[in-house]
Homo-oligomer: A and B are copies of this chain.
Amino acid sequence: MAAPSSVSAATTASPLFLREHEVRRGVELLFFGYTRLTRAIDDGLAEHGLGRAHHRALYFIARQPDLTISELLKILAITKQSLGRVLTDLAEKALVETRTGVVDRRQKLLRLTAEGVRFEAQLFDALRTSLASAYAAAGQESVTGFWRVLEGLIPAEDKAMVIALQKDI
């Protein structure tokens, strides 16, 4: 563990001595924050007969058009089978379409259809409303800290993937 000084300066000694209370607080806020945020879109999904798994796929396809199946598998960290069902549903509802890869014809490039774009945007709006109000209430400095801590939770081997995601918007 690095950089104990910044921590010891404030409330506690060193990370090793991090008080249980502070860790529990983080665990709980993450639990409530995450679950409440995801609940914000359940109704929108249910209207289309979809669940959260569908949204996760939809979201990352929206974020990175022409994503391949294997890239999406890495992001979601689920099995091919699980993703398969989800993508089948999304294709049947004409929210997602695939085309054969150009550089490698084995690959399938995933994209949202026009309707998929519309739907994802609608769901995203609910997320934006929740997150934006939390950001606004906390202030920009807090938002930066929020990002920083969360980045620290991502294991090194996954970090590149997350950074890459956030590069192109």
Interface residues of A (CB under 8 A from B): 1-4, 6-16, 18, 20-37, 56, 59, 63, 77, 124, 127-155, 158, 162, 165-166, 169
Contact = CB atoms under 8 A, between A and B. Distances in A.
A125 B133 CA distance: 33
A132 B165 contact: no
B24 A63 contact: yes
B140 A9 contact: yes
30 contacts: A1-B137, A2-B136, A7-B140, A15-B132, A18-B131, A20-B128, A21-B166, A25-B166, A27-B37, A29-B146, A29-B147, A29-B154, A30-B33, A30-B37, A31-B34, A32-B158, A36-B153, A36-B154, A37-B153, A130-B153, A134-B151, A135-B149, A137-B148, A138-B148, A138-B149, A138-B152, A145-B145, A145-B149, A146-B149, A146-B150
A61 to B, nearest CB: 13
Contacts of A15: 128-129, 132-133, 135-136
Contacts of A144: 142, 145
Copies of this protein in the assembly total 2
A117 to B, nearest CB: 13
A147 B144 CA distance: 12
A142 B132 contact: no
Given A23-B128, A140-B4, A145-B144, A152 B169 contact: no
